[in-house]
Amino acid sequence: MKIKNTFMNLIGNNDPASKFNRKKMLTTLSPVIGLVALFILASSLSNVFLTASNLTNVLRQVSVLGFAALGMTIVIITGNIDLSIIGNVSMSTTLVAVLLQNGWDVVPMILVVLLASSTIGLLNGLIISYFKIESFVITMGMQVVCFGLSLFIAGGRTVIVDNLAPFMLNLASNKLGMIPVMFIILLGFYTVFYIFTKKTKMGRYIYALGGNEEVSYVSGVNVTIVRTTAYILSGLMAGVAGIFTFSRSLCGDPAAGSALGMYVVAAVVIGGTKMSGGRGSVLFTIIGILIIGIINNTLNLVGFEYYAQQIIQGLIIIFAVVISSKKRR
């Protein structure tokens, strides 16, 4: 009982008297159950899966997706979507490369990249709020703009950086025990965002915006500020994802973000956050990215052809979304 209560607290409903709790807990827990099942399945399908080096590799692979999906989770909780993220990641990666190539120090480089990526979010938020247009359309347009900017920044090719600073050189490869440092940083971000969404005033406004925008407005909330904040955070996280994308490939590829594709949305939805907004938790997006990471890894280990991997991944995403929407009654 105590454990259950703690858990209910974690997901934001600690009312033991509610008869809907049992069902709700099961619903919320299903991504975790899925992850455990998948883990067992993966271990039995391949004997390489459980090796330390492979698991480290999985964590490293999911980290970039994790940063991007964190921002997406915030935006989806507000009842919107941010398709510009993958373009923004590309833009940030090329910006990292070009700035480093021009001899910038790491700290000012990071600040400029995050400022640029957040500005994309700011624009998304303001345009959607002022013109009251579907976020889907605006952010899709912004994605194209970002990919264009990436090409412009990179001069139309992949940017190779000479004389990399050791910090950037080792950012992706550093480990603490068997856990990559970048995954630890990822967990740090998730913790901060979790506290932000669950404990602060702005966090409440973000959930409330997705729950019912009209009520928020009638209650005196400036919904433009709330929505724009969510998009700025999403842009910021795209910037962080861009920096780590660079740290893994050590070059500025203007198409780097497209590898994330729809995984960003999929990770959020698989984690149980509702596309309709107002429900979900950033913590469960971690489960989402791990599920996607393990599936990809296992398909590789078992040796499926690339086309088969694509088909299976796509079907799994559809399956996860169907399951999650069915539970909404």
Partner 1 sequence: MNKPMLQVNNITKQFPGVKALDRVSIDLYEGEVLCIAGENGAGKSTLIKILSGVFMLDEGEIILNDEKVNIKNPLTAIELGFSVVYQEHRLINNLTVAENIYFGRFPMKRGFVDYRKLNDDAQQILNRLGMNIRASELVSSLGSSQSQMVEIAKALSVGAKIMILDEPSAAITDSELEKLFEIIKDLKSEGQSFIYISHRLKELFEIGDRVAVLKDGKLVGVEKVSDIDTKKIISMMVGRDLGEVYRPKDREIKEEVLRVENLTNDIVHDCSFTVRAGEIVGFSGLVGSGRSELAESVFGYRKRRAGDIFVDGRKVRIRTPKDAIANGMGFITEDRKTTGVILNKSVAVNTTFAILDKLSRAGFVNTREEKVLVDNYIKKLKIKTPSDKQEAQFLSGGNQQKVILAKWLLTESKFLICDEPTKGIDVGTKQEFYNILDDLARQGIAIMLISSELPEIVGLSNRVYVMQEGRIVKELMEDEISEETITTYSMHEME
Binding site for partner 1 (CB under 8 A): 13-15, 17-18, 20, 199-202, 204-205, 207-208, 211-212, 214-222, 278-279
For the bound state, the minimum distance from the C-beta of residue 318 to partner 1, rounded and expressed in Å, comes to 25
For partner 1, which is the closer residue by CB, 215 or 262? Answer: 215
In the three-class reduction of DSSP (H, G, I as helix; E, B as strand; rest coil), residue 24 is classed as helix
CA distances 225 to 26, 74, 115, 186, 282, Å, are 35, 14, 18, 26, 20
For the bound state, the minimum distance from the C-beta of residue 229 to partner 1, rounded and expressed in Å, comes to 12
For partner 1, which is the closer residue by CB, 144 or 202? Answer: 202
CA dihedral 42→282→207→3, nearest 10 degrees, is 80
- What are 252's strand-pairing partners? 159
- What are 176's strand-pairing partners? 179
Tallying the residues shown for the chain, one arrives at 329
For the bound state, the minimum distance from the C-beta of residue 90 to partner 1, rounded and expressed in Å, comes to 33
Q: Are strands 179-180 and 159-160 parallel, antiparallel or unpaired?
A: unpaired
Q: Are strands 179-180 and 175-176 parallel, antiparallel or unpaired?
A: antiparallel
For the bound state, the minimum distance from the C-beta of residue 273 to partner 1, rounded and expressed in Å, comes to 13
For the bound state, the minimum distance from the C-beta of residue 17 to partner 1, rounded and expressed in Å, comes to 4
Q: What HEC string does 111-156 produce? A: HHHHHHHHHHHHHHHHHHHHHCCCHHHHHHHHHHHHHHHHHHHHCC
For partner 1, which is the closer residue by CB, 17 or 52? Answer: 17
For the bound state, the minimum distance from the C-beta of residue 12 to partner 1, rounded and expressed in Å, comes to 8
And the tokens for 58?
């999985």
For partner 1, which is the closer residue by CB, 207 or 244? Answer: 207
For partner 1, which is the closer residue by CB, 141 or 211? Answer: 211
For partner 1, which is the closer residue by CB, 77 or 138? Answer: 77
What does the alpha-carbon distance between residue 246 and residue 299 come to, in Å, rounded to a whole number? 25
